[in-house]
Structure 1
Amino acid sequence: MDEMTQVNRLRAEVPRPGPAELRAEERRLLSEIAAYGAASPAPATRRAHRSEGFRRNLRLSLRTSIAMGAGAAMVVGLGYVGTRSALQPERTVQVTPMAMSAVLQRAADTASQWDELHPEPGQFLAYELQVMFPAKLKEGGKDVRYLKRSLLKVWLPVEGSPLNGGVMASEHLEPRPFPGEPLPADAERRKGSVGAPSKLTGYDIRLDHQRTDYAFLSRLPTDPAGMREHLYRDLAQDPLADYKAWGSVGSMITQAYMPSAQRAALFRAAGTIPGVETVAEAEDAAGRRGVAVAMVNRFGGVRHEYIFDPATYLYLGERVVVVDAAAAGAPEGTLLTSTAQLKVEVADRTPEVADPTPENSGPAS
């Protein structure tokens, strides 16, 4: 067997890209080369600006990918209670940039094959999720970190801000320590507590074109070029434009619902974002295994993944994994955040809720 035959058989399970996908990969490569060579500040200044920019963007991403909620409740998380701790570095993953567009292409191609929801004004979209996110507590007068895990059920209005009648209920599951740090005693005591349904409170700080309610998403372009333009709106001069566009993709599929035509356009547009790659094996917060499309933020030291079912290409969830310990402040391979979107359905009304308490009011996290 000659060398070229051996090369051709490598990763034979990955769908072979077609001519259009190869051309798209060529455009991405040329775009990254051009961006790398562009004029930029001195290295130390650039790292400082981009690191801070990443932190701001990560906070924005968490606010928009998980619906606006009451205080810190909306950035709590529930992980999968399994045999492998989410705090342990994961085994080496196989990253395959060339297969990226094949995964998103198949997700786009199959978008119209499944039963579709048709919510109407006045109704709600009800989501069930498992989530895990870093959180802080005061202990001994100091901030201590841990990984907060929760089961969430959220009802969001079909049209308008999630604060316009949105409701959330939560259940706290067993927390996990932040890598290298002890688990706060107060975090452990919260395990098993259940939050009664309550109104979402705070401030929706998103711009109008960042809305993720069904009424708005259903009016977005149904062609990839138009959808890509939407993803990059107001980002022309932003050094983190590609990563922010990638974050917008997540905000439009996690705890958000759009018609299949817009969903297909979104997946195809996402495939044109420079730097997107495939992770051959990924697991959502509920333990469901899939294939992920991902982008690495080298200045933040994390890889942000969107996970799809390997057979149906339905969206499962997302996760953030550390790839650079120094930049991220956690060991390489650490799973920092994880979600699993378990169910989406239409509801005519929300559960009865109690009046929000003052301590639950404030900016949405």
Structure 2
Amino acid sequence: MNNRDTASNSSNSSNSSNSSNSSNSSNEARRSDADVEEIARLLPPPAHRVLPHEQHLHHKERLMQRIDRDQAARTASTDRTNGTDRARSGPRPARRLLRPAVLVPVTALALGAILTTGIVLTTDDDAPATAATGQHDARDMQPAAALLDQISTAAGKGDALKVRDDQFLYTREKVRDADLTSGKAVVSPVRDVESWASQQPGPQRKLGLTRENGETLPINAELGDTDGTPEGPHRATYHWLSSLPTDPDELLTELYAMTPESDEAERDQAVFDHIGSLVGGVMPPRTAAALYRAAARIPGVTKLPTAKDLTGRTGVAIARDDKKFGARTEWVFDAKDLTFLGSRSYLFKDTQYGKAGTLMSARAVIDHAVVDKAGRAPAASRES
């Protein structure tokens, strides 16, 4: 056999070997894919955690705060390395606000000074609400609708305020909420939160200020609003609230239209929560009255004869159970003059997040007013 034949046989053998190895690798890859598919088929489907929209955005906000703080720390470290001290002189990253309606509740009942006292409450047992249509005799209505009718009447008294574009709606609250990122509800301590919501018309990149635990930070536009957040459900200025329908049926239709659908909560509960995010501060009396009559039309709304807010103040409550998530939300009102005291949400049954009774969120309204300058409390504003 000559050298050419030897080389040819060697080449054929090598090609055959490479082809065999390639074929074996291909077969092994197919078997591996088949094994993965078989294992995936045998495993149970992953659990789907139903997280309410409000809680979902709350945890996103907490994440963005941590990112901002980490960026500030890295910037300060870099500046010190370069021989500068921008941490003292330069602007610090602003906190992103994902849901101003929750963290900055700029809307609510009419001012406490215009609410009357001595309103007689019904004492019937809890029952689902039916439609409240104007000024009806409370005895002809279901308990929740009758109570909401009385709350609406109290909230609607008085004249609308004249709020200038350069003013701010101030709210001071005590707040407590649950962190669900670990898969279990971890309830925070009670925090004092103050907020100043800008009333400037048109899209705004700076929506005001918020102060918590002694730290004051700007409230930025909503995530994704690169040109600024306009007046609307996520920046409920006094002017925008004044533009809402005061007919309860028309208002409820608008509320359903402006509340996005979500797999995380019942549709009716999402609208109930939307109204809850609007109440608790300064708002036009006629709008407040219409909001409560609209709430009476939401299925599943009930009355609680006794309830307490976060500070322990006792009153009556309007409640709704979100059976999809297993949580009850309550709006608590003073039993005498029906002013809004606060709200709370807690599990009414055992869930993956905790036992029945576990707190999900709570807020108690301490003060609200119209002020001329952000960062200044009402008393300081009146003294100047």
> Structure 1 length normalisation: TM-score?
0.61
The question of 1:157 aligning with 2:198 is answered yes
- For 2:154, give the aligned amino acid: T
Kept in 2: contact 1:122–1:158 (CA 8 A) = yes
Q: CA deviation at 1:286?
A: 2.0
Distance in 2 of aligned mates of 1:121 and 1:257: 15
Q: How does 1:336-347 map to 2 (within 5 A)?
A: 336-347=360-371
Q: How does 1:275-354 map to 2 (within 5 A)?
A: 275-326=300-351, 329-351=353-375
Distance in 2 of aligned mates of 1:286 and 1:62: 24
Structure 1: which 5+ residue stretches go unaligned? 1-44, 77-93, 172-193, 353-365
Q: Which residue does the alignment assign to 2:218?
A: 199
Match of residue 170, structure 2, among 126, 146, 150: 126
Q: Which residue does the alignment assign to 2:151?
A: 107
Q: Which residue does the alignment assign to 1:248?
A: 274
The question of 1:273 aligning with 2:298 is answered yes
Structure 2: which 5+ residue stretches go unaligned? 1-44, 66-93, 104-124, 129-141, 377-384
Report which stretch shifted further, 125-134 or 95-104: 95-104
Identity of aligned residues (%): 25
By relative contact order (CA 8 Å, sep 6+), the higher-ranking structure is: 1
1:305-346, Cα deviation, whole Å (9 max, x unpaired): 11111111111111001101125x212122221101111111
Q: Which residue does the alignment assign to 2:188?
A: 147
The question of 1:210 aligning with 2:233 is answered yes
The question of 1:221 aligning with 2:245 is answered yes
Distance in 1 of aligned mates of 2:59 and 2:239: 22
SS in 2 for 1:107: helix
In structure 2, relative to structure 1, the CA distance for the partners of 1:120 and 1:282 (3 Å cut) is same
Q: Which residue does the alignment assign to 2:52?
A: 55
In structure 2, relative to structure 1, the CA distance for the partners of 1:146 and 1:57 (3 Å cut) is closer
Match of residue 135, structure 1, among 168, 175, 179: 179
SS in 2 for 1:326: coil
Distance in 2 of aligned mates of 1:214 and 1:283: 29
The question of 1:257 aligning with 2:299 is answered no
- For 1:227, give the aligned amino acid: L
Distance in 1 of aligned mates of 2:230 and 2:360: 27
Match of residue 255, structure 2, among 231, 237, 240: 231
In structure 2, relative to structure 1, the CA distance for the partners of 1:236 and 1:248 (3 Å cut) is closer
SS in 2 for 1:325: coil
Q: Which residue does the alignment assign to 2:111?
A: none
SS in 1 for 2:338: coil
RMSD: 3.7
